[in-house]
Amino acid sequence: MPVFVKVLLIILAVLAGLFIIYVVVGSIYFFNFATNNRKAKKKKDNDSGGSKVADTLIKMFPSLLDTPDFILERRNEFAAMPYEQMEIKSYDGITLRAKYYACENSEKTVICMHGFKSAGYIDYGPVVPFWHGIGYNVLLPDQRSCGMSDGKYVTFGAKEQIDCKDWAEFVSLKLCPGGKIVLLGTSMGGATVMLASSLPGLPENVIGVISDCGYSSASEIVKHIARSKFHIIPFPLYQVTDLLNRIIAKYSFEDAAPVKSLKRTNLPFLFIHGEADDFVPFYMEKICFDACASEKKKCVSFPRASHAHSLYTDPKKYEAEVKEFLLSCEAE
């Protein structure tokens, strides 16, 4: 065999080995980044998911740290509010926990589903006073593997949608029997409530759904983050990471596709999204809105708002739109 052929084969073998290492190491990294939340749960600190993930997200999206003064004031008000700790068992045996902020003499409840590897009080603490002010009880669940809830894996709404339905049933049967329920979600929480909106068994007293910067599908948001923030081509890391999801966490990115669920929903919907969102891109709001089969739906955008910052950017507009939506839902 000629020398140049041997050299070529050696080079090809080295490149193949490096490619395999890249795929294996990269897929394990992305599985830990996207799905695995075990290390965070060992801390049991009622905080957001693992600090490494939080640090990475803040580096990618520094706007997540931008907090206006009025939000800080509301957080102080929220911190002094009394609450009750609630818990339920998920369909697969995980203990899920939530904080319940009762509003005196209210028969209306909003269930707030937080975002990726966050916690209920982190995403929604500043809005509890607003919801109390318009006469709503507030339930802040910690999604599976986040905050004080048990579990090891985040599933982008694939399993969380059933947890959301279970919380709605819990409110309907135990906390506020027969009362009206609104589902509210931000980012992954937005995807969660969209997915839950068409589930069989969702209580009939759920009167509306608000999705704030929810993504159209887990597969598309994961690929978008890979391209825009990690600057890599999704193939083949996406496929191998999803294989790890199926084997270890028993779900697939493909299982979390709000656009499919929205085609089967008949609940009123309010879609909210910031036009400057570089995490869940703004165009996903239109995809979700167009897919929604509900006869009553509205799409509201906030021109200068980054990810999950529509309220921060224009609180008067945000709260006015929410109030208007709720009045239309309650009137039915």
Residue 211 within any structural domain of the chain? yes
Residue 48: pLDDT band with limits 50, 70, 90: very low
Predicted TM-score of the model (pTM): 0.91
Identify the helix (H) or strand (E) that includes residue 204: none
Per-residue model confidence as pLDDT tens digits over 150-204: 999 999 999 999 999 999 999 999 999 999 999 999 999 999 999 999 999 999 9
How far apart CA 166 and CA 170 sit, in angstroms, is 6
Q: How many domains does the chain fold into?
A: 1
How confident is the model over 248-277, as pLDDT tens digits? 999 999 999 999 999 999 999 999 999 999
Mean pLDDT, the chain, rounded, equals 91
In our burial notation (b when 16+ CB lie closer than 10 A, e otherwise), range 184-216 reads bbbbbbbbbbbbbbbbeebbebbbbbbbbbbbb
- Compute the distance between CA of residue 276 and CA of residue 146 in angstroms, rounded to an integer: 27
Q: Determine, yes or no, domain membership for 315.
A: yes
Give a yes or no: residue 135 inside a domain.
yes
Question: For residue 117, what is the domain's CATH number?
Answer: 3.40.50.1820
Quote the domain boundaries for residue 57.
Answer: 35-217+256-330
Does 39 have pLDDT greater than 70? no
Q: What pLDDT score does 238 carry? A: 97
At residue 49 the predicted structure's pLDDT band, cuts being 50, 70 and 90, is very low
Residue 90 pLDDT > 80, yes or no?
yes
Kindly state the average pLDDT of the residues 50-67: 52
Is 271 among the domain residues? yes
The answer to whether position 9 is within a domain reads no
Look at residue 162 and tell me if it is in a domain: yes
Query: How would you classify the pairing of strands 84-89 and 95-101?
Result: antiparallel
85, part of any domain: yes
Q: Is residue 210 included in any domain, yes or no?
A: yes
